[in-house]
Amino acid sequence: MAAVPDASPPAHPLSEGWGRALVFGYGLFAVAATGRSAVQLGMEPQKAPLAYSLSLLAAVLYLVATTCLLLGGRTGWRVAGLAVAVELVGVLSVGTLSYLATDLFPDKTVWSHFGQGYGFLPLVLPFAGLAWLRHTRPRRDREAGRDRRDRDG
């Protein structure tokens, strides 16, 4: 990918190319997780408070990631990175715990068993997201820094 050096980032670089597929994927899961937590919390919130709060957290993270991808820009990139990182930690820890400590999760979350009920996409999404964010990382100061190092060294 030949980047135009020192060009200010385009208006929506995060939601183009593979970013568009990510917007679709994250959008789907934003809807799915929001729906799931709304049903769970609306029907019987006492049943599995931990699982339901995690569903809600997942919903918020997916919503934030989708929004940030669509908004783009430096701040969008940063916040998306944070959301996706937390998501990765969440899916890995909840996925592991749902196998090891089944009594913690009387009901399922999006992340249970590494997202088995959702074709393991919840496990794939954060890796795809991080790869995409790495690819689209704002270049200006990084490249400027590298240039300076090259000159000085």
Partner 1 sequence: MSLPRPTLAAVNPWLYGVALAVAGVLAVLLVVDLVRDRAAQDSHFVGLAVVELLMLVQLVGGVVALARTEREVEGAVFVSYLVTNALVPVVAAFLALAERSRVGTTILLLGVATVAGLEVRLWDVWGGGGA
* Binding stretches for partner 1 (CB under 8 A): 16-18, 20-21, 23-25, 27-28, 31, 35, 39, 118-119
Decide whether 97 or 116 has the Cβ nearer to partner 1: 116
| Amino acid at position 64, single letter | V
Decide whether 82 or 121 has the Cβ nearer to partner 1: 121
- Tell which residue, 108, 104, 50, 60, has the closest CA to residue 83: 60
> Shortest approach of partner 1 to residue 21 CB, angstroms?
5
Decide whether 27 or 138 has the Cβ nearer to partner 1: 27
How many Å apart are CA 14 and CA 79, to the nearest integer?
Answer: 12
> Shortest approach of partner 1 to residue 122 CB, angstroms?
13
> Shortest approach of partner 1 to residue 19 CB, angstroms?
9
- Do 36 and 63 form a contact (C-beta atoms < 8 A)? no
Decide whether 77 or 132 has the Cβ nearer to partner 1: 132
CA distances from 31 to 59, 81, 87, 99, 144 (A): 8, 20, 16, 26, 40
> Shortest approach of partner 1 to residue 16 CB, angstroms?
8
How many Å apart are CA 127 and CA 108, to the nearest integer?
Answer: 22
